[in-house]
Structure 1
Amino acid sequence: MDMKFEVVVLPVSDVDRAKAFYDSAGFRMDIDAVVGDDFRCVQFTPPGSECSFMIGKGLTSAAPGSFQGLYLVVLDIEKARAELVGRGIEVSEVFHDAGGIFYHGHEGGDIVHRIGGQGREAGPHPDRADYGSYATFSDPDGNGWVLQEVKQRAPGR
């Protein structure tokens, strides 16, 4: 049975502010539906993605800005970063994991995540290894996105 991950609901405090942010980032707005005073759903899809996300009012009880580690896979980390910066988005410098464990292929192929920027080393992965180079940005509420460079997917992906 196929199951496709389609939509994530991101908690935001100001729908219009978040809508303007994601529009300026170049994400496609799919819908903006208002039903009364207590419900609004705005759906965006990142360029080239099959998964979308919704922001709005009356969608979630999660705290605004509480989502972290929303990965956007890109072919060229530096080009993707430059495009977002050119659109006025504040993006971290490109980095890789100093211990070499923050990318696919370490001990069983799991991706190891580190919080708070620990273990980051400036610049792309020295070998430009797939799953090894990153940059981060956040929406106005602090929901955290990660750009990850992948040129060739791991088997089965």
Structure 2
Amino acid sequence: MDLKLEVVVLPVSDVDRAKAFYVRAGFRPDVDYAAGDDYRVVHLTPPGSQCSILFGTGVTTAVPGSTRGLHLVVQDIEAAHAELVDRGIEMGGIFHDAGGVFHRGTEEGRVDGAHPERASYSFFATFSDPDGNEWVVQEVTTRLPGR
């Protein structure tokens, strides 16, 4: 059985502001559908991704900005970081975790710069949308066995 993650719902407070942000970040707009003032769905896809994001009016009861730790995987974190900055996205610096291949989702254990061995899965940069939904950009150049 295949289980494919295809859509992640993000809670936002201003649909037009969120849409403009994600389009500026390079996400492809797929759908912008409204059925009156109480229901609007905006669906966008990150470049190269099979999974999309969805937000709007009347689509979730989650608190705007409460989503954390969504990962965007890239082949070259420096190039991705530079491109997002060039697109006007405020990025945190590139970092790795002092203890190994993943990060803790907090500031604890963060070390500035790329992993010294440049190990796949080992370094990151973060950004947030205008509501504070947090994204992690992660470099993965070689998949671990079974991935």
Quote how far apart the aligned CAs of 1:49 are: 0.3
Structure 2: which 5+ runs fail to align?
A: none
Matches within 5 A, 1:114-153: 114-153=104-143
TM-score by length of 2: 0.97
> Taking structure 1 as the reference length, what is the TM-score of the superposition?
0.91
What code does the residue aligned with 2:104 have? R
Aligned to 1:70: 70
Identity of aligned residues (%): 65
Name the amino acid aligned to 1:43.
H
CA–CA separation in structure 2 for the residues paired with 1:51 and 1:125: 27
* 8 Å contact kept, 2:75–2:140: yes
Asked whether the equivalents of residues 92 and 126 of structure 2 are also in contact (C-alpha less than 8 Å), the reply is yes
Structure 1 moving runs of 4+ over 3 Å: none
**Number of the residue aligned with 2:82:** 82
**What's 2:16 paired with?**
16
Letter of the structure 1 residue corresponding to residue 133 of structure 2 = N
1:154, distance to aligned residue in structure 2 (A): 1.2
Give the SS at the match of 2:26.
Answer: coil
Corresponding residue pairs, total: 147
The root-mean-square deviation of aligned C-alpha atoms, in Å, is 0.9
